[in-house]
Structure 1
């Protein structure tokens, strides 16, 4: 399996690509394929998070937090109208960081689930 196979993931940033290559550096091709299959199912696309965040400015706020498995923050945003839109605007600016943190955790959980780390 080619090290650039992670590049096919939608919306992948260079930092995430390098981190995934380093994480799977010692994996066999079969292990990389299994990891990729599990990780693809758990990973979130940054554009999806941004779109859901922007929907919170005109509709129900906090959808993006629910997608990132941050249920408590999602409920808080829902009842406070995105912390009076300030929290939603901040999240819209920082959507890449929010998504990267979620995806990094998802990669570690995927590797642990498969017993590779």
Structure 2
């Protein structure tokens, strides 16, 4: 199975979420099942939204994708970094569910906080 890589850079603005989602899904859809494309679409949207909201605001958001036997997506912002914490708000309060969804839908995920914040996830291909 051939390995593919896509590295993208976006301005830290809300419109970048749709751009990232569209570019990644268009590039990867020929190699994935429809269900995996929909999961990818949701998780990329959540992570890029978080990077735009919580990043530095002055530096670009980077999205790196690698796929062959598995799909690995990394979203990088150059903010101050953070440690994910469990969500304690009521379920009807808006926001705060992005990393919860990543944890439920991804096969693996994590956060690295050297030189900003990198949130990554892995989807196993079926």
Bucket of the pairwise TM-score, normalised by the shorter protein:
0.3 to 0.5
Pair member with larger Rg: 1
- Higher strand proportion, which one? 2
- Higher helix proportion, which one? 1
